[in-house]
Amino acid sequence: MWYYKLMILIVGLGNPGIEYKNTRHNIGWIILDNILKNINWEKSSKGKLLYHRDDGIEYIKPQTFMNESGLSVSYIQKKYELNSQDIIVIHDDIDLLFNQIKISYDRGDGGHNGIKSIMNHLKSQSFIRIRVGVSILDENNILRKPDVLGAFSKNDLEIIKEKISPNIHEVIQSIILEGKEIAMNKFNSK
């Protein structure tokens, strides 16, 4: 019997519901929708997620609220017997400027409830995170941390579509093809 082997899981974090659609907390979903244009997401009620599979890579958008994201991630991890190192999570980060991207591995949750949930369910922090900045500098050059449930402006959504999402796609390809260390050296220094 043929068995589908999943090599990489890519998770975009967000909250379900139209009221959260374009919020900062949903940048993981927004980015996946930009990278995977014109696809029909399939639904897994059992895993509480939307998914798209392509060449050994599964992309998921958990359909739980952020603080329960780990349920969906651990469901896929167990289903395919994935190592946590083969999981890439895209999420918002209020400690980074909007348009700034950092790759992290085997680090704490940084106060992010979605990441905390994933760590609790996987019983590991050894997964790759693509942290996407959502904060801005004020007129005094001080980092201003916005409400993560606040919506992006139309202009910000255009920047995410035209600049950030293609950059994240490049980061993902680098992680998969060259490994996380090379990707970190290449993209974290920007």
Catalytic residues: 25
Cα-based distances in Å from 98 to 89, 115, 145, 152 = 18, 19, 10, 11
pLDDT band with cut points at 50, 70 and 90 for residue 1: very low
Who contacts 9 (Cβ-Cβ below 8 Å, separation ≥6)? 57, 58, 60, 73, 76, 77, 80, 82, 86, 87, 88
Using DSSP's 3-state secondary structure scheme, residue 25 falls into helix
**The pLDDT of residue 6 is above 70:** no
**The pLDDT of residue 56 is above 60:** yes
Q: What is the pTM of this model?
A: 0.93
Question: Which fold is adopted by the domain 8-187?
Answer: Rossmann fold (3.40.50)
**The pLDDT of residue 89 is above 70:** yes
Rounded distance between C-alpha atoms, residue 98 and residue 143, angstroms: 10
Q: Is the dihedral of CA 61, 183, 115, 149 positive or negative?
A: negative
